[in-house]
């Protein structure tokens, strides 16, 4: 048997979710990562941020906002093109560029809900990478409870006046446009939430420190502060007090993003761990030859293959507009939990070297841990699924 050929085949057999055009796009994405991302990522991890010129280059090559309509600077493509970018981030563990957050989470809110004038003002620049997007949802002490949002927006004539604080905001340092989740009716709980856009440079809007994390070191994550920030009334997305329903509507895609990256990460790290264990020797033989290690890797391959089938099924459903809230929650729950468990096993098989930062498995292991927290914690995913029982 040609084991090298077997290793290069998809774990779960041929994938049918992508077309030939999708795979051509994957070739383009890989070339971009090999040239513009992979050689520089370790430095960005030390810097704590990805340079803005990388975003502009990604925009110039069509890697940002592929689903955005052509009239606003996008490609008018389906989510499969976004999924390929997410998979390449997972495969290379180049977690710094927050492209999926920008393209697949922030931009859809604006494309779906902003006024026509605001769409034409922001979206073409976002597709070019000149404006980087973020969404400011989490607040100190709030966790996953959206009804506990304390940031307020008060209507004053033709403006909204925003006051509050946000934390753990990805793309926070680079952000040129932030969707702020705030209370426009503080006494109405979830029914009083609105989404309002704030542009970088608006008086009263300041960015705090770039937060130091245990993983995702190249991805800028910030505190944001709003002190009597006045923005035009037209910066409201959709209708006043409808923000919670908009967030719920878009969360399945956000959770699918996390699941897709988990699947690609597990496959890539499994391949690297198999290669390492076949080269590394202990007691005069490759550590792969110990039955315990081979069986551990065999089990990991079976589990990763099983999740790949499920993730592709969820992707296919989403491409048809049929992915449900609970199925997206299941994909996010299973993918993030399995990724953390398998990467921990892979790190163990690397021994002491696995704990060294220069080895990719250690960085991937640390980067994966947040998957069980952001996008809704594993506990919240279980609650969503439990409601369907």
Active site residues: 254
Q: How far apart are CA 292 and CA 276, in angstroms?
A: 15
Which candidate, 33, 129, 145, places its Cα nearest to that of 88?
33
Q: What are phi and psi of 159, to 5 degrees?
A: -135, 160
Report how far Cα 300 is from the mean position of its chain's Cα atoms: 24
> Does residue 62 come out as left (phi exceeding 0), alpha (psi in the -120 to 50 range) or beta?
left
Q: What are phi and psi of 346, to 5 degrees?
A: -65, -40
Which candidate, 235, 91, 99, places its Cα nearest to that of 171?
99
Q: Label the pairing between strands 159-170 and 152-156.
A: antiparallel
Q: Taking a C-beta distance cutoff of 8 angstroms, is the pair 273, 361 a contact?
A: yes
The alpha-carbon radius of gyration of the chain (Å, integer) is 21
The string of DSSP letters for 85-125 reads HHHHHHHHT-----HHIIIIIIHHHHHHHS-HHHHHHHHHH
Q: How far apart are CA 372 and CA 333, in angstroms?
A: 7
Both tokens of 73, joined, read 């600077």
The CA–CA distances, whole Å, from 114 to 110, 167, 190, 321 equal: 5, 24, 21, 22
Which candidate, 164, 169, 140, 166, places its Cα nearest to that of 154?
164
Q: Buried (b) or exposed (e) across 136-155, using 16+ Cβ within 10 A?
A: bbbbeebebebeebebbbee
Q: Please, which residues bridge with residue 61 across strands? A: none
Q: Residues with Cβ < 8 Å from 32, sequence gap 6 or more?
A: 57, 58, 61, 63
Both tokens of 18, joined, read 């992508």
């Amino acid at each position: 048997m040609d084991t090298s050929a077997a290793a290069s085949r998809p774990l779960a057999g041929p994938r049918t979710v992508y077309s030939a055009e999708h795979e051509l796009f994957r070739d383009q994405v890989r070339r971009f990562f090999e040239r513009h991302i992979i050689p520089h990522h370790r430095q960005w991890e030390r810097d704590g941020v990805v340079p803005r010129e990388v975003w502009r280059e990604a925009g110039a090559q069509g890697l940002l906002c592929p689903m955005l309509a052509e009239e606003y600077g996008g490609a008018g493509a389906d989510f499969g093109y976004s999924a390929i970018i997410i998979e390449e981030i997972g495969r290379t563990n180049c977690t710094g560029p927050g492209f999926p957050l920008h393209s697949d989470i922030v931009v859809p809110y604006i494309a779906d809900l902003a006024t026509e004038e605001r769409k034409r003002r922001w979206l073409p620049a976002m597709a070019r990478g000149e404006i980087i997007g973020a969404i400011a949802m989490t607040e100190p002490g709030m966790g996953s409870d959206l009804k506990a949002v304390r940031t307020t927006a008060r209507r004053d004539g033709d403006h909204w006046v925003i006051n509050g604080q946000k934390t753990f905001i990805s793309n926070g340092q680079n952000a040129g446009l932030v969707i702020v989740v705030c209370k426009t009716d503080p006494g109405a709980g979830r029914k009083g939430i609105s989404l309002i856009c704030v542009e970088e440079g608006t008086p009263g809007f300041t960015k705090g420190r770039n937060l130091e994390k245990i993983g995702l070191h190249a991805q800028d994550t910030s505190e944001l502060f709003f002190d009597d920030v006045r923005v035009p009334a037209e910066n409201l997305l959709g209708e006043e007090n409808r923000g919670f329903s908009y967030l719920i509507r878009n969360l399945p895609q956000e959770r699918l993003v996390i699941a897709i990256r988990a699947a690609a990460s597990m496959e890539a790290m499994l391949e690297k761990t198999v290669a390492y264990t076949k080269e590394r020797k202990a007691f005069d033989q490759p550590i792969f030859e110990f039955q315990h290690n081979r069986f551990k890797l065999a089990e990991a391959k079976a589990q990763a293959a099983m999740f790949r089938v499920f993730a592709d099924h969820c992707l296919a459903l989403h491409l048809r507009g049929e992915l449900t809230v609970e199925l997206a929650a299941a994909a996010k729950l299973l993918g993030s939990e399995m990724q953390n468990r398998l990467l921990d096993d892979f790190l163990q098989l690397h021994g002491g070297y696995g704990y060294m930062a220069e080895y990719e498995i250690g960085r991937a292991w640390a980067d994966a841990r947040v998957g069980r927290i952001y996008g809704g914690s594993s506990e919240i995913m279980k609650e969503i699924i439990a409601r369907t029982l």
